[in-house]
Structure 1
Protein backbone atom coordinates (compact mmCIF):
# COMPACT_ATOMS: atom_id res chain seq x y z
CA UNK A 1 0.00 0.00 0.00
CA UNK A 2 1.23 3.42 -0.94
CA UNK A 3 2.05 5.93 1.80
CA UNK A 4 0.01 9.03 1.02
CA UNK A 5 1.24 12.27 2.57
CA UNK A 6 -1.61 14.16 4.19
CA UNK A 7 -1.54 17.82 4.99
CA UNK A 8 -1.90 18.40 8.70
CA UNK A 9 -4.16 20.95 10.33
CA UNK A 10 -1.02 22.82 11.41
CA UNK A 11 0.23 23.00 7.80
CA UNK A 12 -3.16 24.19 6.56
CA UNK A 13 -3.22 26.84 9.28
CA UNK A 14 0.23 28.18 8.43
CA UNK A 15 -0.62 28.19 4.71
CA UNK A 16 -3.73 30.22 5.55
CA UNK A 17 -1.77 32.61 7.77
CA UNK A 18 0.86 33.17 5.10
CA UNK A 19 -1.85 33.67 2.44
CA UNK A 20 -3.33 36.31 4.74
CA UNK A 21 0.15 37.87 5.11
CA UNK A 22 0.35 38.10 1.30
CA UNK A 23 -3.17 39.57 1.15
CA UNK A 24 -2.20 42.23 3.69
CA UNK A 25 1.17 43.05 2.06
CA UNK A 26 0.18 42.88 -1.60
CA UNK A 27 -2.09 45.93 -1.85
CA UNK A 28 0.52 48.36 -0.55
CA UNK A 29 2.16 49.86 -3.60
CA UNK A 30 3.53 52.96 -5.19
CA UNK A 31 2.07 53.72 -8.61
CA UNK A 32 4.84 54.71 -11.00
CA UNK A 33 3.08 53.93 -14.26
CA UNK A 34 1.46 50.82 -15.68
CA UNK A 35 3.38 48.57 -13.28
CA UNK A 36 3.43 49.67 -9.61
CA UNK A 37 6.10 49.05 -7.00
CA UNK A 38 4.62 46.60 -4.49
CA UNK A 39 5.62 44.56 -1.47
CA UNK A 40 4.32 41.33 -3.01
CA UNK A 41 7.69 39.88 -3.96
CA UNK A 42 9.21 40.66 -0.54
CA UNK A 43 6.22 38.98 1.11
CA UNK A 44 6.68 35.95 -1.15
CA UNK A 45 10.40 35.67 -0.36
CA UNK A 46 9.69 35.84 3.38
CA UNK A 47 6.83 33.34 3.06
CA UNK A 48 9.15 30.86 1.34
CA UNK A 49 11.79 31.34 4.03
CA UNK A 50 9.24 30.77 6.78
CA UNK A 51 7.30 27.78 5.41
CA UNK A 52 9.24 26.45 2.44
CA UNK A 53 8.71 25.91 -1.27
CA UNK A 54 5.60 23.74 -1.31
CA UNK A 55 3.50 25.50 1.31
CA UNK A 56 4.80 28.92 0.29
CA UNK A 57 3.86 28.40 -3.35
CA UNK A 58 0.43 27.14 -2.29
CA UNK A 59 0.04 30.26 -0.10
CA UNK A 60 0.80 32.45 -3.11
CA UNK A 61 -1.64 30.55 -5.33
CA UNK A 62 -4.37 31.00 -2.71
CA UNK A 63 -3.56 34.73 -2.59
CA UNK A 64 -3.76 34.86 -6.40
CA UNK A 65 -7.12 33.09 -6.39
CA UNK A 66 -8.45 35.44 -3.70
CA UNK A 67 -7.43 38.39 -5.87
CA UNK A 68 -8.81 36.92 -9.08
CA UNK A 69 -12.25 36.39 -7.52
CA UNK A 70 -12.35 40.09 -6.76
CA UNK A 71 -11.04 40.81 -3.29
CA UNK A 72 -8.78 43.90 -3.32
CA UNK A 73 -5.50 42.16 -2.45
CA UNK A 74 -3.45 43.16 -5.48
CA UNK A 75 -1.37 46.32 -5.79
CA UNK A 76 -3.33 49.48 -5.15
CA UNK A 77 -6.09 47.55 -3.35
CA UNK A 78 -7.38 46.10 -6.61
CA UNK A 79 -8.66 42.68 -7.56
CA UNK A 80 -10.62 40.74 -10.13
CA UNK A 81 -9.90 38.72 -13.23
CA UNK A 82 -9.29 41.90 -15.18
CA UNK A 83 -6.05 42.37 -13.21
CA UNK A 84 -4.87 38.95 -14.38
CA UNK A 85 -5.86 39.74 -17.97
CA UNK A 86 -4.46 43.29 -17.75
CA UNK A 87 -0.94 44.66 -18.19
CA UNK A 88 0.39 43.28 -14.88
CA UNK A 89 -1.14 39.80 -15.22
CA UNK A 90 2.13 38.26 -16.40
CA UNK A 91 3.86 39.44 -13.26
CA UNK A 92 1.07 38.00 -11.09
CA UNK A 93 1.47 34.62 -12.82
CA UNK A 94 5.26 34.98 -12.73
CA UNK A 95 5.20 35.34 -8.95
CA UNK A 96 4.04 31.71 -8.68
CA UNK A 97 7.16 30.61 -10.56
CA UNK A 98 9.26 32.97 -8.45
CA UNK A 99 7.91 31.36 -5.27
CA UNK A 100 8.63 27.86 -6.55
CA UNK A 101 12.11 28.59 -7.93
CA UNK A 102 13.15 30.64 -4.89
CA UNK A 103 11.81 27.88 -2.71
CA UNK A 104 13.95 25.24 -4.39
CA UNK A 105 17.09 27.17 -3.44
CA UNK A 106 15.91 28.27 0.00
CA UNK A 107 14.84 24.73 0.95
CA UNK A 108 18.04 23.15 -0.38
CA UNK A 109 20.47 25.76 0.96
CA UNK A 110 18.73 27.33 4.00
CA UNK A 111 21.97 28.50 5.62
CA UNK A 112 23.74 29.73 2.49
CA UNK A 113 22.73 33.33 1.90
CA UNK A 114 24.35 33.53 -1.53
CA UNK A 115 22.51 30.45 -2.83
CA UNK A 116 19.19 31.68 -1.42
CA UNK A 117 19.79 35.08 -3.00
CA UNK A 118 20.63 33.35 -6.30
CA UNK A 119 17.35 31.42 -6.16
CA UNK A 120 15.40 34.62 -5.54
CA UNK A 121 17.28 36.32 -8.38
CA UNK A 122 16.53 33.50 -10.84
CA UNK A 123 12.88 33.42 -9.75
CA UNK A 124 12.64 37.18 -10.18
CA UNK A 125 14.18 37.01 -13.65
CA UNK A 126 11.53 34.43 -14.64
CA UNK A 127 8.85 36.76 -13.25
CA UNK A 128 10.33 39.72 -15.14
CA UNK A 129 10.38 37.68 -18.35
CA UNK A 130 6.79 36.45 -18.11
CA UNK A 131 5.57 39.85 -16.98
CA UNK A 132 7.38 41.71 -19.74
CA UNK A 133 6.13 39.36 -22.47
CA UNK A 134 2.56 39.76 -21.22
CA UNK A 135 2.90 43.53 -20.78
CA UNK A 136 4.23 43.89 -24.34
CA UNK A 137 1.37 41.78 -25.69
CA UNK A 138 -1.46 43.50 -23.77
CA UNK A 139 -0.25 47.07 -24.27
CA UNK A 140 1.05 46.44 -27.83
CA UNK A 141 4.61 47.48 -27.12
CA UNK A 142 7.91 46.20 -28.45
CA UNK A 143 9.58 43.91 -25.92
CA UNK A 144 12.41 46.36 -25.21
CA UNK A 145 9.92 49.17 -24.44
CA UNK A 146 7.95 46.87 -22.12
CA UNK A 147 11.24 45.94 -20.45
CA UNK A 148 12.00 49.63 -19.91
CA UNK A 149 8.58 50.19 -18.32
CA UNK A 150 8.09 46.92 -16.46
CA UNK A 151 11.55 45.88 -15.28
CA UNK A 152 14.30 48.50 -15.30
CA UNK A 153 12.74 50.84 -12.70
CA UNK A 154 12.22 47.88 -10.35
CA UNK A 155 15.68 46.32 -10.34
CA UNK A 156 17.22 48.38 -7.49
CA UNK A 157 14.21 47.96 -5.20
CA UNK A 158 13.85 44.27 -5.98
CA UNK A 159 17.52 43.68 -5.26
CA UNK A 160 17.04 45.47 -1.93
CA UNK A 161 14.02 43.25 -1.16
CA UNK A 162 16.11 40.15 -1.92
CA UNK A 163 18.85 41.36 0.42
CA UNK A 164 16.31 42.10 3.16
CA UNK A 165 14.75 38.65 2.72
CA UNK A 166 18.19 36.97 2.67
CA UNK A 167 19.10 38.59 5.97
CA UNK A 168 15.74 38.59 7.77
CA UNK A 169 14.27 35.36 6.40
CA UNK A 170 16.64 32.92 8.13
CA UNK A 171 16.25 34.78 11.43
CA UNK A 172 12.46 34.74 11.23
CA UNK A 173 12.46 31.04 10.28
CA UNK A 174 14.79 30.21 13.19
CA UNK A 175 12.65 32.07 15.72
CA UNK A 176 9.40 30.53 14.47
CA UNK A 177 10.90 27.03 14.61
CA UNK A 178 12.45 27.57 18.05
CA UNK A 179 9.04 28.74 19.31
CA UNK A 180 7.56 25.50 17.98
CA UNK A 181 5.17 27.33 15.71
CA UNK A 182 6.22 25.46 12.56
Structure 2
Protein backbone atom coordinates (compact mmCIF):
# COMPACT_ATOMS: atom_id res chain seq x y z
CA UNK A 1 0.00 0.00 0.00
CA UNK A 2 1.32 3.41 -0.94
CA UNK A 3 2.17 5.81 1.85
CA UNK A 4 0.15 9.02 1.74
CA UNK A 5 1.55 12.45 2.39
CA UNK A 6 -0.43 15.06 4.28
CA UNK A 7 -1.29 18.49 2.91
CA UNK A 8 0.90 20.02 5.63
CA UNK A 9 3.86 17.86 4.59
CA UNK A 10 3.29 18.75 0.92
CA UNK A 11 3.34 22.41 1.91
CA UNK A 12 6.68 21.98 3.68
CA UNK A 13 8.11 20.06 0.69
CA UNK A 14 6.97 22.97 -1.51
CA UNK A 15 8.42 25.50 0.92
CA UNK A 16 11.82 23.81 0.86
CA UNK A 17 11.69 23.60 -2.94
CA UNK A 18 10.97 27.34 -3.02
CA UNK A 19 13.83 28.09 -0.62
CA UNK A 20 16.17 26.05 -2.82
CA UNK A 21 14.91 27.95 -5.89
CA UNK A 22 15.57 31.24 -4.11
CA UNK A 23 19.01 30.46 -2.67
CA UNK A 24 20.56 28.43 -5.50
CA UNK A 25 20.72 31.21 -8.11
CA UNK A 26 22.61 33.44 -5.68
CA UNK A 27 26.18 32.88 -6.72
CA UNK A 28 29.59 34.46 -7.04
CA UNK A 29 31.67 33.59 -10.10
CA UNK A 30 35.28 32.61 -9.43
CA UNK A 31 37.83 33.54 -12.06
CA UNK A 32 39.76 30.25 -11.78
CA UNK A 33 36.84 27.88 -12.42
CA UNK A 34 33.52 27.79 -14.29
CA UNK A 35 31.88 26.52 -11.08
CA UNK A 36 30.58 29.49 -9.04
CA UNK A 37 30.19 29.76 -5.29
CA UNK A 38 26.48 29.19 -4.73
CA UNK A 39 24.07 29.04 -1.82
CA UNK A 40 22.50 25.95 -3.38
CA UNK A 41 24.37 23.54 -1.13
CA UNK A 42 23.21 25.45 1.96
CA UNK A 43 19.59 25.14 0.76
CA UNK A 44 20.12 21.41 0.18
CA UNK A 45 21.41 20.92 3.72
CA UNK A 46 18.52 22.86 5.22
CA UNK A 47 16.12 20.72 3.19
CA UNK A 48 17.82 17.62 4.59
CA UNK A 49 17.18 18.88 8.13
CA UNK A 50 13.56 19.81 7.57
CA UNK A 51 12.39 16.85 5.48
CA UNK A 52 12.62 13.08 5.81
CA UNK A 53 14.90 11.50 3.16
CA UNK A 54 12.22 10.63 0.56
CA UNK A 55 10.48 13.99 0.98
CA UNK A 56 13.83 15.79 0.68
CA UNK A 57 14.53 13.82 -2.48
CA UNK A 58 11.13 14.85 -3.88
CA UNK A 59 11.82 18.50 -3.06
CA UNK A 60 15.19 18.54 -4.81
CA UNK A 61 13.83 16.58 -7.77
CA UNK A 62 11.13 19.22 -8.19
CA UNK A 63 13.82 21.91 -8.01
CA UNK A 64 15.80 20.12 -10.73
CA UNK A 65 12.74 19.71 -12.94
CA UNK A 66 11.88 23.39 -12.55
CA UNK A 67 15.41 24.31 -13.58
CA UNK A 68 15.51 21.85 -16.48
CA UNK A 69 12.19 23.25 -17.71
CA UNK A 70 13.87 26.64 -18.07
CA UNK A 71 13.08 28.50 -14.85
CA UNK A 72 16.14 30.48 -13.72
CA UNK A 73 16.72 28.57 -10.48
CA UNK A 74 20.30 27.42 -11.08
CA UNK A 75 23.40 29.44 -10.23
CA UNK A 76 23.57 32.85 -11.83
CA UNK A 77 19.80 32.81 -12.45
CA UNK A 78 20.08 30.28 -15.26
CA UNK A 79 17.95 27.32 -16.22
CA UNK A 80 17.32 24.85 -18.98
CA UNK A 81 18.58 21.45 -20.01
CA UNK A 82 21.74 23.07 -21.35
CA UNK A 83 22.79 23.93 -17.81
CA UNK A 84 22.53 20.27 -16.78
CA UNK A 85 24.43 19.19 -19.89
CA UNK A 86 27.06 21.90 -19.33
CA UNK A 87 30.24 21.68 -17.25
CA UNK A 88 28.51 22.20 -13.88
CA UNK A 89 25.54 19.91 -14.56
CA UNK A 90 26.99 16.95 -12.68
CA UNK A 91 27.20 19.01 -9.51
CA UNK A 92 23.59 20.14 -9.88
CA UNK A 93 22.41 16.56 -10.40
CA UNK A 94 24.62 15.59 -7.45
CA UNK A 95 22.29 17.58 -5.20
CA UNK A 96 20.01 14.52 -5.29
CA UNK A 97 22.66 12.38 -3.61
CA UNK A 98 23.63 15.14 -1.20
CA UNK A 99 20.13 15.75 0.10
CA UNK A 100 19.22 12.09 0.41
CA UNK A 101 22.37 10.92 2.22
CA UNK A 102 22.44 14.04 4.43
CA UNK A 103 18.80 13.57 5.38
CA UNK A 104 19.29 9.88 6.17
CA UNK A 105 22.12 10.69 8.60
CA UNK A 106 20.36 13.71 10.09
CA UNK A 107 17.18 11.75 10.75
CA UNK A 108 19.08 9.01 12.56
CA UNK A 109 18.93 11.54 15.43
CA UNK A 110 22.34 10.50 16.76
CA UNK A 111 23.63 14.04 17.22
CA UNK A 112 25.38 16.80 15.35
CA UNK A 113 28.51 14.76 14.66
CA UNK A 114 26.40 12.27 12.68
CA UNK A 115 24.64 15.16 10.96
CA UNK A 116 28.02 16.55 9.88
CA UNK A 117 29.27 13.13 8.77
CA UNK A 118 26.12 12.76 6.67
CA UNK A 119 26.54 16.19 5.10
CA UNK A 120 30.21 15.53 4.29
CA UNK A 121 29.36 12.14 2.80
CA UNK A 122 26.46 13.67 0.86
CA UNK A 123 28.70 16.43 -0.47
CA UNK A 124 31.28 13.85 -1.51
CA UNK A 125 28.53 12.13 -3.49
CA UNK A 126 27.83 15.47 -5.16
CA UNK A 127 31.47 16.17 -5.90
CA UNK A 128 32.03 12.74 -7.46
CA UNK A 129 29.49 12.80 -10.33
CA UNK A 130 30.09 16.52 -10.75
CA UNK A 131 33.83 16.07 -11.14
CA UNK A 132 33.45 13.05 -13.41
CA UNK A 133 31.02 14.96 -15.63
CA UNK A 134 33.16 18.10 -15.66
CA UNK A 135 36.22 16.02 -16.51
CA UNK A 136 34.40 14.36 -19.40
CA UNK A 137 32.72 17.56 -20.58
CA UNK A 138 35.87 19.66 -20.56
CA UNK A 139 38.35 16.96 -21.59
CA UNK A 140 40.38 17.35 -18.39
CA UNK A 141 41.83 14.63 -16.21
CA UNK A 142 39.98 13.75 -13.02
CA UNK A 143 42.70 15.18 -10.74
CA UNK A 144 42.81 18.42 -12.74
CA UNK A 145 39.02 18.67 -12.47
CA UNK A 146 39.21 18.07 -8.70
CA UNK A 147 41.79 20.81 -8.33
CA UNK A 148 39.69 23.18 -10.41
CA UNK A 149 36.17 22.38 -9.20
CA UNK A 150 36.42 20.93 -5.70
CA UNK A 151 39.49 22.20 -3.87
CA UNK A 152 38.55 25.91 -4.17
CA UNK A 153 35.19 25.16 -2.54
CA UNK A 154 36.23 23.04 0.43
CA UNK A 155 36.46 25.88 2.96
CA UNK A 156 33.20 27.48 1.82
CA UNK A 157 31.39 24.15 1.87
CA UNK A 158 32.75 23.46 5.37
CA UNK A 159 31.29 26.81 6.45
CA UNK A 160 27.92 25.87 4.86
CA UNK A 161 27.99 22.58 6.77
CA UNK A 162 28.71 24.42 10.03
CA UNK A 163 25.94 26.96 9.42
CA UNK A 164 23.50 24.18 8.55
CA UNK A 165 24.44 22.18 11.65
CA UNK A 166 23.71 25.24 13.78
CA UNK A 167 20.51 26.58 12.21
CA UNK A 168 19.11 23.44 10.58
CA UNK A 169 17.87 21.79 13.79
CA UNK A 170 16.25 25.03 14.94
CA UNK A 171 14.46 25.61 11.63
CA UNK A 172 13.28 22.01 11.67
CA UNK A 173 11.95 22.31 15.24
CA UNK A 174 10.09 25.51 14.46
CA UNK A 175 8.49 24.06 11.33
CA UNK A 176 7.43 20.95 13.24
CA UNK A 177 5.94 23.16 15.96
CA UNK A 178 4.11 25.24 13.32
CA UNK A 179 2.60 22.07 11.78
CA UNK A 180 1.05 20.87 15.05
1:152 Cα deviation (Å)?
0.2
Local SS of the residue matching 2:107: helix
- 1:23-172 equivalent positions in 2, closer than 5 A: 23-32=21-30, 33-109=33-109, 112-172=111-171
Q: Which residue of 2 aligns with 1:173?
A: 172
Check the 8 A contact 2:51/2:103 in 1, yes or no. Answer: no
Q: CA deviation at 1:41?
A: 0.7
SS at match of 2:75: coil
Unaligned 5+ runs, structure 1: none
How far apart, CA to CA, are the structure 2 residues paired with 1:175 and 1:14?
12
Tell me the distance in 2 between the aligned counterparts of 1:147 and 1:43: 23
Q: Secondary structure at the match of 2:34?
A: coil
Q: Which residue, out of 8, 15, 18, partners 1:17?
A: 15
Query: Take 1:73 and 1:175, find their aligned partners in 2: how far apart are those partners?
Result: 26
Which has the larger displacement, 169-178 or 150-159? 169-178
- Structure 2: 5+ residue stretches without partners: none
C-alpha separation between the residues in 1 aligned to 2:2 and 2:142? Answer: 45
| TM-score for both structures, normalised by structure 2 | 0.95
